């Protein structure tokens, strides 16, 4: 299972329909609150998630909490802290995720994505009036026209393309930016367009980024990615053409790499090639192909 997946919470859909119920859960002695500051999460001295009780949360923030769900009879909430105390430690969620249990990364992803969405949507896109959270933070309602706004998750196709069904090469790329002209390469990826299937998005993105035509596409797995709120949908595909003609505006480089080269990179024994680590779905797409676990 991928990092940021495996969220164990009962998200309490029925409970959210009654605002009084949410307020009762907030004031419960069993309620636990996870503080964030600038979307960084608070941790304890031993770098565990710093869950708080209600009396440990500043009073002025009690109306700004987001209901995450229920776990073992504990209502769990996330709360955005404006100015933390000097004794408190907040860390980047991406950096912390590798130190947490699988289920905790899922809760962290939900909390960060929801807090970020609320921070980005203080006003109505229809009439410009202020919005306020309802249903425990599941929606925002406009104070002017009454329109409901729901959080969105952006789907991203990420794909490892191989040169033929039993081929010995895969296609890896390097985006323009800070990793350009380094030895770091990853699977190609891109957002789905409106009115586009996953398979169509895979073929379009590979054609746009690498100039390669793709035939059969096979789903592998998906991963929530809360930076800010994406769903990475992992696929393998088979190339119909082999000659690379990559987009120099978006891509710094695109190459075919052999299975041996990629295996050495996974083992961190290839000075010419680095690939994403286990936190990223790209790592698992690459590793499953190298191990022969993909039936194409």
Residue 279 sits at the vertex; the CA angle it makes with 278 and 280, to the nearest 5 degrees, is 90
Mean pLDDT of 245-260: 97
Percent of the chain surpassing pLDDT 70: 98
Q: Is 209 helix (H, G, I), strand (E, B) or coil?
A: helix
Mean pLDDT for the chain overall = 95
Quote the tokens at residue 139.
């929606």
Sheet strands (E) in the chain:
32-37, 40-43, 65-71, 74-80, 89-91, 131-134, 139-142, 148-149, 154-162, 169-175, 188-191, 214-225, 230-239, 251-258
Mean pLDDT of 195-211: 98
pLDDT for res 84: 86
Q: State the Cα–Cα distance between residues 27 and 205, nearest whole angstrom.
A: 49
pLDDT over 70 at 62, yes or no: no
pLDDT over 70 at 63, yes or no: no
pLDDT over 70 at 216, yes or no: yes
Lowest mean pLDDT, pick from 19-28, 63-72, 182-191, 241-250: 63-72
Interstrand relation of 169-175 and 32-37 (parallel, antiparallel or unpaired): unpaired
pLDDT for res 187: 98
Pick from 140, 116, 120: which is nearest to 37 by CA?
A: 116
Domains of the chain: 15-114 (3.90.79), 121-151 (no CATH), 154-290 (3.90.79.10)
Contact, 131 vs 142, CB < 8 A?
yes
Mean pLDDT of 143-168: 95
pLDDT level of residue 269 (50, 70, 90 thresholds): very high
pLDDT for res 152: 92
The 10 Å Cβ neighbour count of residue 187 is: 27
Q: State the Cα–Cα distance between residues 47 and 230, nearest whole angstrom.
A: 26
Pick from 113, 119, 99: which is nearest to 49 by CA?
A: 99
| CA-based torsion, 41, 185, 174, 165: positive or negative | negative
């Amino acid at each position: 299972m991928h990092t940021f997946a495996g969220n164990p919470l009962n998200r309490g859909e029925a409970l959210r329909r009654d605002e009084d119920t949410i307020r009762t859960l907030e004031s419960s002695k069993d309620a636990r609150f996870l503080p964030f500051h600038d979307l960084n999460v608070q941790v304890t001295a031993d770098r565990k998630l710093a869950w708080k009780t209600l009396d440990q949360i500043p009073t002025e923030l009690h109306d700004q909490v987001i209901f995450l769900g229920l776990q073992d009879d504990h209502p769990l909430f996330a709360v955005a802290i404006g100015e933390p105390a000097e004794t408190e430690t907040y860390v980047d969620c991406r950096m912390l995720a590798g130190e947490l249990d699988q289920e905790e990364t899922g809760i962290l992803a939900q909390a960060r994505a929801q807090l970020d969405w609320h921070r980005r949507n203080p006003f109505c896109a229809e009439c410009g009036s202020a919005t306020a959270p309802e249903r425990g933070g599941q929606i925002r309602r406009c104070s002017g026209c009454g329109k409901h706004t729901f959080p969105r998750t952006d789907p991203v196709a990420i794909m490892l393309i191989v040169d033929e069904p039993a081929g010995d090469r895969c296609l890896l790329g390097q985006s323009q930016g800070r990793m350009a002209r380094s030895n770091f390469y990853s699977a190609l990826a891109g957002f789905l367009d409106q009115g586009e299937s996953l398979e169509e998005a895979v073929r379009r993105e590979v054609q746009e980024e690498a100039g390669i035509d793709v035939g059969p596409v096979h789903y592998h797995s998906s991963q929530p990615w809360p930076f800010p709120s994406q769903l990475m949908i992992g696929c393998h595909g088979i190339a119909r053409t082999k000659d690379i003609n990559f987009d120099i505006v978006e891509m710094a480089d695109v190459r075919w790499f052999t299975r041996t080269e990629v295996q050495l990179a996974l083992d961190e024994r290839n000075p010419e090639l680095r690939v994403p680590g286990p936190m990223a779905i790209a790592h698992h797409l690459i590793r499953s192909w190298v191990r022969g676990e993909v039936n194409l």
